[in-house]
């Protein structure tokens, strides 16, 4: 993520308002028109090819990119659909597993997971630990309670305000950095509260414990859309950057994954998934290995 439980938390009525819309989509299904592409499948390292199944980790609290379906267990959304399509092209079965966002990269390092698809921003800092294949583009947006909130125009206007973010995200890093800038300028700092998942951050805002939320642009827009008028977007989005599919460093999967992403784009399957979830504005046409811009 730039950035990011539904069924077990629905007892909290305020949170229910925030997340109820997230579980309304159909379960993730693969694109029936896609087939295994032998040339791409041969690029997959023998060890992974022989195993036949890859575990894709995703923090399923970040709709519409990844969230839990009505059955309370199936991970659905943009990343789940793309992961299944990529698996078909590479000749691999895909198991999408819900995981905490800040545990995914350590899980890739320890080989608990094979792939991380969870709205990860491809950053140079993260590239020191994992490799990425870019596939999407997003910025960061601000949102708050629609029934009143502080004036927000951008990061510089956060001085003296409280912000709810998901732990381990670039939003957390940005808000923390802004806190230092505010204090250096002699202004009140930013109170940054990091939560274990996006739903908890949303609840903190809806309950009035925090004033402002920050999330990736498509996610913030979806939060507002599904909140039944409880939240509103404020200020301007900033920091457009690439999302990347995270892979264990040096495990040989970057080239076949890049080839599979390009194939989905060529065949139209990529944009079909983005259109399904209403995030076509984030489409890219030139995926790269480790394409971080900062």
Q: What's the pLDDT score for residue 188?
A: 98
**Residue labelled with tokens 């008028």:** 229
Equal CATH topology for 6-138+241-282 and 139-240: yes
- Tens digit of each residue's pLDDT (9 = 90 or more) over 128-139: 999 999 999 999
In angstroms, rounded to a whole number, what is the distance separating the alpha carbons of residues 108 and 17?
34
Angle formed by the axes of helices 269-276 and 254-267, nearest 10°: 80
| pLDDT given for residue 148 in this prediction | 83
CB 191 within 8 A of CB 163: yes
Look at residue 23 in the predicted model and tell me its pLDDT.
36
Which pLDDT tens digits describe the chain residue by residue (294 residues)?
555 323 222 223 333 333 333 333 444 555 668 999 999 999 999 999 999 999 999 999 999 999 999 999 999 999 999 999 999 999 999 999 999 999 999 999 999 999 999 999 999 999 999 999 999 999 999 999 999 889 999 999 999 999 999 999 989 999 999 999 999 999 999 999 999 999 999 999 999 999 999 999 999 999 999 999 999 999 999 999 999 999 999 999 999 999 999 999 999 999 999 999 999 989 999 999 999 999
Task: Give CATH superfamily name and number for 139-240.
Answer: Periplasmic binding protein-like II (3.40.190.10)
What span, in angstroms and rounded, lies between the C-alpha atoms of 190 and 176?
7
Residue 15 is predicted with a pLDDT of 34
Q: Which residues contact 193 (CB under 8 A, 6 or more apart)?
A: 162, 163, 164, 165, 204, 209, 210
Return the domain boundaries, the chain: 6-138+241-282, 139-240
What is the C-alpha to C-alpha distance for residues 94 and 231, in angstroms, rounded to an integer?
A: 35
Determine how β-strand 191-195 pairs with β-strand 75-76.
unpaired
Give 93's strand partners.
53
What distance, in Å, lies between the first and last C-alpha atoms of the chain? 14
Q: Does an H or E element contain 82, and which? A: helix 78-90
CATH superfamily assigned to domain 6-138+241-282:
Periplasmic binding protein-like II (3.40.190.10)
> What does pTM read for this prediction?
0.80
Residue 30's pLDDT is 58
CB contact at 8 A, 250 and 102: no
Residue 176 has a pLDDT of 98
Q: Can you list the positions of beta strands (E) in 111-216?
A: 115-116, 130-145, 162-166, 191-195, 212-216
Q: Are 90 and 40 in contact (CB under 8 A)?
A: yes
Strands 212-216, 162-166: pairing kind: parallel
pLDDT tens-digit readout, 32-68: 689 999 999 999 999 999 999 999 999 999 999 999 9
């Amino acid at each position: 993520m730039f950035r990011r439980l539904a069924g077990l938390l629905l007892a909290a009525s305020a949170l229910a308002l925030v997340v109820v819309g997230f579980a309304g989509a159909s379960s993730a299904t693969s694109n029936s028109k896609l087939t295994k592409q032998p040339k791409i499948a041969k690029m997959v390292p023998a060890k992974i090819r022989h195993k036949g199944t890859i575990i894709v980790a995703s923090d399923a609290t970040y709709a519409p990119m990844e969230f839990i379906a009505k059955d309370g267990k199936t991970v659905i959304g943009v990343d789940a659909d793309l992961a299944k399509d990529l698996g078909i092209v590479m000749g691999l079965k895909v198991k999408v597993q819900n995981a905490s966002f800040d545990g995914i990269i350590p899980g890739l390092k320890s080989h608990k997971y094979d792939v991380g698809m969870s709205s990860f921003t491809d950053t140079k800092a993260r590239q020191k630990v994992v490799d990425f294949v870019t596939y999407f583009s997003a910025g960061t947006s601000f949102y708050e309670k629609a029934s009143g909130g502080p004036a927000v125009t951008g990061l510089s206007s956060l001085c003296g305000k409280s912000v709810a973010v998901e732990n381990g995200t670039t939003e957390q890093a940005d808000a923390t950095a802004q806190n230092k800038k505010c204090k250096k300028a002699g202004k009140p700092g930013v109170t940054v509260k990091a939560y274990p998942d996006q739903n908890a951050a949303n609840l903190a805002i809806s309950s009035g414990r925090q004033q402002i939320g920050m999330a990736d642009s498509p996610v913030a827009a979806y939060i507002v859309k599904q909140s039944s008028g409880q939240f509103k977007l404020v200020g301007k989005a900033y920091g457009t950057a690439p999302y990347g599919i995270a892979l264990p460093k040096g495990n040989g999967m970057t080239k076949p994954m890049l080839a599979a992403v390009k194939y989905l784009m060529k065949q139209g399957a990529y944009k079909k998934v983005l259109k399904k979830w209403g995030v076509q504005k984030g489409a890219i046409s030139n995926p790269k290995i480790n394409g971080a811009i900062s």
